[in-house]
């Protein structure tokens, strides 16, 4: 990986030196800013928490201006100053160069690339860059009129992100995602292999196991294995034992182990009472991100057992095998883990995604929902294809995203409920609501009940996208028939006023496309989080990010951006990172968080314009994209 | 055929009980959708499904509670079998412990459920035994396996053992395969036939009398006839599924 980066920089330098020969004064090499060694910075995400908290992304906020928005908020804003065309700080968001914020320089927000002669060009250059990079910036600026350069630029600016990773399959090893499409394959059982091919030995299985890029393990503090994403417990029992020994060694020293690195794998440990959760990742996620994933697994266990029950089990017999009480929920844990491994924007942002609907339509749905509400109801939700359509709730209570994540996982990611085909009545604990007791959840899929629609659903490859579910949650375990009646009434009402079809069409329409939002913008994908609503919107993954590896690559970039923005010691508002494969922009204000990704050659100005268009769109469509308030009773 | 003639129809609440992973949901899926899924994920909580079953003289609308088999859901079971007119207690005939669990469920039902409840003991996964593999796929009649007993590879519970127990406890008894569909409809038809007329609350019209079969010994007679085979084709036709 590092070698390639060096090569990239090298070639870049040579191009630039040609240009500097054309007339510009070669910039004197500037002293390097004290920074993490290239080793540490390139491996920052594996190295761990301390490195993590530093900005791990190439920041070049040469010209950042503060803008006031119509809503009164202020945001900092990268302007079109220096062309960042040929600054392939290789490895994208991982090079670890940072530039101080230059807000105070009093540059005009736009058009500051017309540097006056009285100002030294060098004084505006990002002094933290290595000389080669610097040369490219300056040279690019001074030579941008050159015909050949323009030609080159016009071609290269349209390169989509991750193009090289897609085309250079040979080099896939460098991207670290080789074999990611096999990440979710099962490791064959020994019994199967004995009777079947007979060729798979324990060593082969272990090799398959080790090839996985992400592992999750749950074990009890007594060392009893509880769950592991990959490999049956007989295969990895000894590894569980090693993990337990390491963790308990530090526990004994009253200095709990939080994480460590071995090779290119990062180990993160979460201890919750009698349970140890371990995440092992080679996907370059930050400790905080991995820990929140482990926390979600813990929440899933609490959702099955409740906290008092979990405590009781271990208070009476610390050596209890928790597999028995958790029996049947392995698939829920696995589907949760897999959605993290695939990259789940809602988990990354801690926010919900809503179905885009007209305000009046959502209003109609909410009102029908509220009007037909059963007395026993606590929460009512309508969900389509994993996106929230409508929610009604008591005034005193709101729904926590982590609880909804568990529900969505149960409904849309694991087959336990969906495949049954009927209506479901599920006792579950929503830990963020109350981890001490059960609620009862009525679930019914609007499409799944009539038998006639069953066969076409099975034929279509992506049924979850079209499925509309109604979820009614009550504290009363006897309220099934009341909630069922409510469901039937709601369905009748929504069918009659046409909103069920509207939901269906909106679901089929999919996520917003960038070509509609910001025509001409070369941004390939974005995530927009409305901080006040704890909701997010994202552009369609089609066509570039549909396959597993491409999607993971995108999500990894978002994870890195997010980690850089939210590092403990980083006070960033805008971050523009250019890598060999993609350019990305993160922008955080009190109102929103925006993350967007474009091809590696897009200029900062174009990217900023695109980002602005997205922001304006989100502002304009806010009440369609997000559920504001919801139905309250 | 019979569908066009209005017949008295009545709802029957039926609950499925049994150890985890014996195939309760698969039996229901076969009965309701005539479908089968390999490696079906465990039921969470309970699922509620309905399916009509047309008998010669009446229509039975089954309201099926397919419960999760895991131990932690056991405390919720009374909610499902309360007021139930029928119960399917399922075991896996490749797993002896599942029959023990089934016996516990039968005992609990006899103790706690409605007195007239019709209980069927069902040994599922017949496709895993060698005595069924050859025949189950083409026709359901000949493979009843009633006396071929314990000759199958994976079979661990002999037909004789389960059948004797079922007779002692006055239960309907079937061995089924949700995978091949063998005997699945027959179970539900037999239950529909075994529901006592008097317990059909919503039964309308006078014509319902003929098909009524009492509980107890009569059930077994009925069930034996089914097992023997000759009635099976009729039963299949009669069921609107």
Q: How far is A507 from chain B (nearest CA, A)?
A: 26
Structure confidence at residue A176 as a pLDDT band (50, 70, 90) = low
Token readout for A265 is: 């794998």
Nearest to A328 among B42, B47, B76 (CB): B42
pLDDT at B201: 59
B25 contacts A420? CB cut-off 8 A: yes
A410 contacts B44? CB cut-off 8 A: yes
- Give the 3-state secondary structure of residue B177: strand
Percent share of chain B, pLDDT over 90: 57
Which residue did the predictor score with more confidence, A80 or B22? B22
| pLDDT one-digit tens code per residue, A246-268 | 998 898 888 889 999 988 899 99
pLDDT at B202: 52
Mean model confidence pLDDT for chain B: 78
Nearest to A425 among B46, B71, B72 (CB): B46
Token readout for A293 is: 């994933």
Nearest to B48 among A415, A416, A422 (CB): A422
CB < 8 Å to B72, chain A: 304-305, 325, 327
Strand partners, A425: A442, B46
Q: Is the four-CA dihedral A231, A234, A236, A241 of positive or negative sign?
A: positive
- Give the 3-state secondary structure of residue A348: helix
CB < 8 Å to B43, chain A: 328, 416, 420
Give the pLDDT mean for A320-339. 91
Token readout for A62 is: 């040469």
ipTM exceeds 0.85: no
CB < 8 Å to A426, chain B: 44-46
| pLDDT one-digit tens code per residue, A377-434 | 999 999 998 899 999 999 988 888 899 999 999 988 877 777 667 899 999 999 999 9
Read off the pTM: 0.74
- pLDDT of A449 higher than 90: no
Whether the CB of B41 is below 8 Å from some CB of chain A: the reply is: yes
pLDDT at B164: 95
Structure confidence at residue A50 as a pLDDT band (50, 70, 90) = very low
Residue of chain B with shortest Cα separation from A422: B49
Whether the CB-CB separation of B189 and B238 falls below 8 Å is answered with yes
Most confident of A513-517, B110-114, B151-155, B196-200: B110-114
Strand partners, A259: A268
Phi and psi based region of residue B96 (left: phi greater than 0; alpha: psi -120 to 50; beta: remaining):
alpha
Residue of chain B with shortest Cα separation from A411: B44
- pLDDT of A66 higher than 80: no
Residue A599 φ/ψ, nearest 5 degrees: -65, 160
DSSP strand pairing (A468-474 vs A439-445): antiparallel
pLDDT at B22: 95
| pLDDT one-digit tens code per residue, A554-613 | 999 999 999 999 887 878 899 998 888 889 999 999 999 999 999 888 888 889 999 999
Q: How far is B170 from chain A (nearest CA, A)?
A: 31
pLDDT at A454: 38
Most confident of A14-28, A340-354, B201-215: A340-354
- HSE-CB at A335 with a 13 A cutoff on CA atoms is 18
Whether the CB of A50 is below 8 Å from some CB of chain B: the reply is: no
Residue of chain A with shortest Cα separation from B82: A478
Give the pLDDT mean for B111-121. 93
- pLDDT of A84 higher than 90: no
Whether the CB of A346 is below 8 Å from some CB of chain B: the reply is: no
- In total, the C-beta contacts within 8 angstroms joining chain A to chain B are 86
Structure confidence at residue A170 as a pLDDT band (50, 70, 90) = very low
How far is it, in rounded angstroms, from Cα B214 to Cα B206? Answer: 17
- pLDDT of A96 higher than 60: no
- pLDDT of A49 higher than 70: no
Q: For chain B, how many residues are written?
A: 241
Residue of chain A with shortest Cα separation from B71: A325
| pLDDT one-digit tens code per residue, A333-345 | 999 999 999 988 9
- pLDDT of B165 higher than 70: yes
Structure confidence at residue B186 as a pLDDT band (50, 70, 90) = very high
Mean model confidence pLDDT for chain A: 75
CB < 8 Å to A304, chain B: 72
Give the pLDDT mean for B23-50. 91
Q: How far is A372 from chain B (nearest CA, A)?
A: 22
B41 contacts A415? CB cut-off 8 A: yes
Secondary structure element (H or E) that encloses residue B101, with its range:
helix B96-112
- Interface probe for A, chosen from B28, B47, B52, B83 (most Cβ of A below 10 Å), is B47
Whether the CB-CB separation of A85 and A154 falls below 8 Å is answered with no
pLDDT at A431: 95
Structure confidence at residue B196 as a pLDDT band (50, 70, 90) = confident
| CA-based nearest residue to A383, from A359, A357, A422 | A357
CB < 8 Å to B79, chain A: 477-478
A480 contacts B48? CB cut-off 8 A: yes
Structure confidence at residue A493 as a pLDDT band (50, 70, 90) = very high
Which residue did the predictor score with more confidence, A223 or B240? A223
Structure confidence at residue A189 as a pLDDT band (50, 70, 90) = low
Structure confidence at residue A48 as a pLDDT band (50, 70, 90) = very low
Give the pLDDT mean for B98-122. 94
Residue of chain A with shortest Cα separation from B70: A327
- Interface probe for B, chosen from A192, A422, A454 (most Cβ of B below 10 Å), is A422
Nearest to A331 among B25, B37, B41 (CB): B41
Angle between helices A202-211 and A233-252 (to 10 degrees): 60
CB < 8 Å to B68, chain A: 328
Question: CB A508: neighbour CB atoms within 10 A?
Answer: 11
A478 contacts B41? CB cut-off 8 A: no
Nearest to B43 among A416, A428, A477 (CB): A416
- pLDDT of B40 higher than 70: yes
How far is it, in rounded angstroms, from Cα B100 to Cα B120? Answer: 15
Q: Degrees (nearest 5) of the Cα angle A256, A260, A261?
A: 175
Percent share of chain A, pLDDT over 90: 38
- pLDDT of B108 higher than 60: yes
How far is it, in rounded angstroms, from Cα B204 to Cα B191? Answer: 19
Whether the CB of B37 is below 8 Å from some CB of chain A: the reply is: yes
Place of tokens 């088999």: B69
């Amino acid at each position: 990986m590092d070698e390639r980066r060096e090569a990239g920089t090298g070639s870049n330098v040579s191009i630039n030196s040609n240009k500097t020969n054309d007339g510009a004064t070669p910039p004197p090499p500037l002293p390097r800013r004290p920074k993490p060694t290239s080793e540490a910075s390139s491996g920052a995400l594996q190295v761990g928490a301390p490195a993590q908290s530093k900005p791990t992304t190439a920041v070049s906020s040469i010209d950042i201006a503060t803008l006031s928005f119509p809503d009164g908020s202020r945001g900092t804003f990268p302007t079109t100053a220096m062309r960042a065309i040929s600054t392939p700080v290789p490895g994208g968001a991982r090079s670890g160069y940072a530039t101080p914020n230059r807000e105070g320089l009093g540059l005009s927000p736009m058009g500051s690339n017309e540097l006056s002669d009285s100002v030294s060009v060098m004084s505006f250059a990002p002094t933290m860059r290595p000389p080669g990079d610097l040369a490219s910036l300056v040279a690019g600026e001074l030579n941008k009129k050159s015909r050949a350069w323009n030609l080159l630029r016009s071609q290269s600016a349209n390169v989509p992100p991750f193009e090289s990773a897609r085309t250079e399959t040979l080099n896939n090893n460098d991207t670290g995602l080789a074999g990611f499409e096999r990440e979710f394959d099962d490791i064959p059982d020994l019994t199967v292999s004995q009777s079947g091919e007979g060729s798979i030995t324990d060593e082969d299985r272990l090799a398959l196991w080790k090839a996985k890029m992400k592992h999750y393990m749950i074990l009890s503090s007594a060392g009893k294995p509880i769950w592991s994403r990959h490999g049956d417990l007989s295969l990895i029992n000894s590894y569980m034992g090693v993990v337990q020994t390491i963790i308990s060694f530090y526990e004994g020293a009253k200095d709990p182990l939080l994480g460590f690195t071995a090779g290119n794998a990062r180990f993160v440990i979460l201890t919750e009472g009698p349970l140890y959760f371990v995440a092992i990742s080679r996907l370059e996620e930050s400790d905080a991100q991995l820990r929140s994933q482990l926390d979600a697994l813990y929440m899933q266990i609490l959702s099955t057992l409740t906290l008092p029950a979990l405590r009781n089990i271990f208070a009476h017999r610390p050596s209890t095998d928790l597999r028995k009480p958790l029996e049947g929920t392995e698939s829920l844990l696995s589907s949760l883990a897999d959605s993290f491994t695939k990259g789940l924007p809602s988990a990354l942002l801690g926010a919900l995604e809503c179905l885009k609907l007209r305000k009046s339509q959502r209003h109609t749905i909410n009102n029908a929902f509220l009007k037909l509400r059963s007395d026993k109801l606590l929460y009512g939700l309508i969900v389509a294809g994993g996106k929230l359509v409508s929610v009604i709730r008591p005034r005193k209570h709101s729904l926590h995203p982590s609880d909804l994540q568990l529900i969505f996982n149960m409904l849309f990611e694991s087959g336990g409920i969906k495949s049954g085909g009927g209506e479901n009545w599920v006792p579950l604990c929503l830990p963020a609501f109350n981890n001490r007791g059960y609620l009862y959840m009525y679930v019914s899929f609007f499409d799944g009940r009539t038998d006639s629609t069953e066969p076409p659903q099975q034929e279509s490859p992506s049924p979850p996208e079209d499925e509309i579910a109604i979820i009614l949650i009550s504290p009363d375990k006897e309220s099934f028939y009341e909630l069922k009646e409510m469901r039937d009434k709601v369905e009748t009402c929504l069918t009659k006023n046409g909103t069920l079809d509207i939901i269906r069409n909106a679901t089929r329409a999919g996520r917003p496309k960038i070509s509609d939002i910001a025509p001409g913008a070369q941004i390939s994908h974005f995530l927009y989080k409305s901080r006040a609503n704890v909701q997010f919107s994202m552009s369609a993954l089609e066509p570039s990010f549909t396959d597993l590896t491409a999607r993971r690559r995108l999500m990894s970039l978002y994870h890195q951006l997010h980690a850089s923005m939210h590092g403990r010691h980083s006070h960033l508002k805008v971050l523009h990172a250019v890598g060999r494969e993609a350019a990305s922009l993160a922008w955080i204000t009190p109102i929103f968080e925006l993350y967007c990704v474009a091809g590696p050659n897009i200029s900062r100005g174009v990217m900023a314009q695109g980002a602005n268009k997205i922001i304006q769109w989100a502002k304009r469509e806010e009440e369609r994209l997000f559920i504001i308030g919801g139905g309250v009773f | 055929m019979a569908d066009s003639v209005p017949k008295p129809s009545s709802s029957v609440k039926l609950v499925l009980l049994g150890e985890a992973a014996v195939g309760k949901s698969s039996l229901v899926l076969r009965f309701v959708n005539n479908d089968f899924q390999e490696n079906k994920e465990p039921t969470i909580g309970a699922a509620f499904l309905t399916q009509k079953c047309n008998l010669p003289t009446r229509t039975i609308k089954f309201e099926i509670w397919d419960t999760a088999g895991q131990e932690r859901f056991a405390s919720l079971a009374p909610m499902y079998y309360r007021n139930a007119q029928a119960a399917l207690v399922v075991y896996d005939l490749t797993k002896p412990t599942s029959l023990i669990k089934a016996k516990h469920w039968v005992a609990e039902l006899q103790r706690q459920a409605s007195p007239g409840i019709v209980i069927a003991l069902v040994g599922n996964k017949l496709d895993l035994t060698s005595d069924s593999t050859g025949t189950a796929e083409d026709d359901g009649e000949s493979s009843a396996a009633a006396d071929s007993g314990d000759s199958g590879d994976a079979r661990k519970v002999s037909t004789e053992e389960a059948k004797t127990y079922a007779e002692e406890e006055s239960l309907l008894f079937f061995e089924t395969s949700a995978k091949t569909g063998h005997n699945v409809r027959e179970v539900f038809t037999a239950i529909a036939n075994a529901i006592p007329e008097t317990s059909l609350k919503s039964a309308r019209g006078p014509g319902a009398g003929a098909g009524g079969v009492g509980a107890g010994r009569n059930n077994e007679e009925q069930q034996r006839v089914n097992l023997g085979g000759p009635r099976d084709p009729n039963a299949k036709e009669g069921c609107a599924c």
